[in-house]
């Protein structure tokens, strides 16, 4: 089975480039860097004396070379960082391969000569103690980067042109979560289940929507669940939902874009309104969104939703405008045409190569997971269910009913209203 994280691949690609480090010997890099600083006026004048930055240390790494640069008083690190492009040219490397940041011991200048892998195998790894952590990819140094659904950046926006790798990313997110903590998942795939259909029968998939009315039903069900959780939290004086999480996934956000004379406009606007509320209030209640789109534009990625989503994965975009919608910078438009290459934005932006997981391998990985019982299909009129879950026993509900509010979020009690056990 497809496993190991492709460390071999990373190491291989790094190793194959070690020879290029010879070209960028530490001495040459320091000398070239300082001479470029001088030419670019990155100096400070004290009377008749001109003070230059100094390279205090050069540290070789597998991925390239790190320069630790001391700056004269009066020269800010930001001023040097702003000259990244001409400095990179002076160092004869692509500007993307020069990373600079301020640190306590000076300005850190990383000159990266290792190439990113173009293919990285998906790995099934134990993610404990971070069961909600998803590997988004590896950076230029071969370091893995993760998104944690349990972390500080609520909700995830995924954008980029067709063929960039959005579906593969969704597949690996869902596979990781389904084989891990198995939150209640609501999947919206209006392409008739082509992309997300392989997950449809899993017991953890509480709702699968392939039409607009189904999406509205699913979104409304999740919102009701969110409000119920807020009521429980208020009763308990807690501010964070401690129970099972709920994941709401939209494969194509542009499906809710309205056009002039659109007969579905009302429905779509209702869906967008619920999504906005979920994005604003969902996190504390353990309701998490993954919203994907091939067509990022201002009318697709609604401003309010965007404001509430602090983490983005952006594959190559058609232009800088699309890129700005997802990551607030034009950079994704100039990503190379390599499937799986992306910019991951949380507190800062980083270019990564995503792991690849084929549909066949995903099917193998989820094959042994619990499936819905036959009873779950008894009423095709009601495609969406709310899970009042204990051990994945699910109940269909056509409309929201009053709920029992448990005073203790850490126990399961019998709900006197419907006789089901509510796990909190
Ligand atoms: N991380 C990856 N590493 C290597 N190749 C990838 C990766 N992701 C995607 N690909 C390749 O690109 C192809 C398209 O990927 P994917 O279906 O995810 O694109 P998409 O952005 O969802 O576009 P569409 O919606 O048109 O399918 C895949 O079939 C695969 O060959």
pLDDT tens digits, 308-341: 998 999 999 999 999 999 999 999 999 999 999 9
For ligand 1, whether the C-beta of 168 sits within 6 Å is yes
Residues with Cβ within 8 Å of 238's Cβ and at least 6 positions away in sequence, in order, are 409
Predicted complex ipTM: 0.97
Angle at 102 between CA 96 and CA 107, to 5 degrees: 80
Cα(349) to ligand 1 centroid in Å equals 21
Q: Residue 40: pLDDT above 70?
A: yes
Write out the H or E segment, with its range, that includes residue 421. strand 421-423
Angle at 183 between CA 293 and CA 210, to 5 degrees: 45
Entry pTM? 0.78
pLDDT band at 219, cuts 50/70/90?
very high
For ligand 1, whether the C-beta of 295 sits within 6 Å is no
Q: Which domains does the chain have, with CATH numbers?
A: 18-112 (3.30.980.40), 133-366 (3.40.50.300)
d(CA 224, CA 316): 36
d(CA 310, CA 124): 26
Cα(341) to ligand 1 centroid in Å equals 10
The winner for highest mean pLDDT among 229-243, 303-317, 393-407 is 229-243
Q: What is the pLDDT of residue 123?
A: 87
Q: What is the pLDDT of residue 412?
A: 32
Write out the H or E segment, with its range, that includes residue 36. helix 26-39
Q: Residue 6: pLDDT above 70?
A: no
- 112 preceded by cis ω (within 30°)? no
d(CA 373, CA 375): 5
For ligand 1, whether the C-beta of 339 sits within 6 Å is yes
For ligand 1, whether the C-beta of 162 sits within 6 Å is yes
Contact (Cβ atoms closer than 8 angstroms) between residue 122 and residue 2: yes
Name the residue at shortest CA distance from atom 31 of ligand 1: 339
Of the ranges 11-25, 301-315, 353-367, which one carries the lowest mean pLDDT score?
A: 11-25
List, for residues 404-422, the tens digit of each pLDDT value.
Answer: 333 333 333 323 223 232 2
pLDDT band at 10, cuts 50/70/90?
very low
Count of CB atoms situated within 10 Å of the CB of 143: 12
Average per-residue pLDDT in the chain? 83
Q: Residue 389: pLDDT above 60?
A: no
What is the distance of C-alpha 81 from the center of its chain? Answer: 27
Q: State the first-to-last Cα distance of the chain, in angstroms, to the nearest integer.
A: 36
Cα(167) to ligand 1 centroid in Å equals 6
The winner for highest mean pLDDT among 19-23, 71-75, 191-195, 416-420 is 71-75
Q: What is the pLDDT of residue 374?
A: 62
In 3-state terms, what secondary structure has residue 92?
A: coil
Of the ranges 201-205, 237-241, 409-413, which one carries the lowest mean pLDDT score?
A: 409-413
pLDDT band at 372, cuts 50/70/90?
confident
What average pLDDT does range 163-177 have in this prediction? 96
Percent of the chain with pLDDT over 70: 81
pLDDT band at 126, cuts 50/70/90?
low
For ligand 1, whether the C-beta of 317 sits within 6 Å is no
**Nearest Cα to Cα of residue 288 among 333, 343, 226, 338:** 226
Name the residue at shortest CA distance from atom 16 of ligand 1: 165
Strands 184-188 and 246-250: parallel
Name the residue at shortest CA distance from atom 9 of ligand 1: 165
Residues with Cβ within 8 Å of 259's Cβ and at least 6 positions away in sequence, in order, are 265
């Amino acid at each position: 089975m497809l496993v190991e994280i492709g460390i071999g691949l990373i190491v291989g690609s790094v190793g194959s480039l070690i020879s290029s480090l010879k070209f960028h010997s530490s001495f040459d890099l320091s000398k070239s860097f300082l001479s470029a600083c001088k030419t670019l006026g990155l100096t400070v004048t004290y009377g008749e004396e001109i003070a230059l930055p100094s390279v205090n240390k050069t540290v070789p790494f597998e991925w390239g070379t790190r320069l630790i640069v001391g700056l004269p008083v009066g020269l800010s690190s930001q001023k040097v960082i702003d000259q990244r492009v001409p400095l990179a040219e002076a160092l004869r490397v692509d500007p993307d391969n020069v990373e600079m940041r301020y640190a306590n011991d000076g300005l850190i200048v990383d000159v990266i000569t290792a190439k990113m892998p173009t293919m990285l195998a998906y790995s099934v790894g134990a993610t404990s103690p971070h069961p909600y952590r998803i590997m988004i990819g590896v950076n230029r140094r071969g370091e893995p980067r993760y998104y944690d659904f349990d972390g500080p950046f609520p909700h995830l926006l995924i954008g980029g042109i067709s063929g960039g790798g959005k579906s593969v990313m969704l597949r690996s997110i869902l596979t990781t979560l389904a084989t891990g903590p198995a939150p209640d998942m609501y999947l919206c795939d209006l392409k008739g289940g082509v992309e997300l259909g392989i997950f449809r029968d899993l017991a953890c998939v509480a709702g699968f929507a392939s039409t607009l009315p189904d999406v509205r039903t699913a979104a409304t069900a999740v919102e009701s669940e969110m409000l119920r959780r807020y009521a429980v939290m208020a009763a308990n004086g807690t501010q964070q939902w401690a129970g099972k999480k709920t994941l709401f996934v939209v494969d194509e956000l542009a499906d809710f874009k309205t056009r002039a004379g659109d007969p579905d406009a009302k429905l779509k606007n209702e869906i967008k309104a619920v999504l906005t509320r979920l994005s604003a209030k969902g996190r504390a209640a353990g309701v998490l969104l993954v919203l994907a789109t091939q067509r990022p534009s201002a009318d697709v990625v609604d401003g309010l939703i965007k404001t509430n989503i602090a983490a983005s994965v952006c594959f190559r975009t058609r232009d800088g405008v699309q890129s700005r919608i997802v990551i607030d910078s034009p950079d994704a438009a100039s990503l190379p045409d390599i499937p799986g290459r992306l910019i991951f934005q949380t507190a800062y932006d980083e270019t990564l190569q995503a792991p690849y997981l084929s549909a066949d391998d995903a099917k193998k990985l989820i094959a042994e997971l619990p499936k819905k019982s036959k009873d779950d299909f008894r009423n095709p009129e009601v495609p969406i269910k709310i899970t009042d879950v204990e051990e994945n026993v699910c109940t269909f509900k056509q409309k929201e009913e009053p709920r029992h509010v448990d005073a203790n979020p850490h126990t399961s009690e019998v709900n006197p209203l419907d006789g089901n056990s509510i796990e909190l």
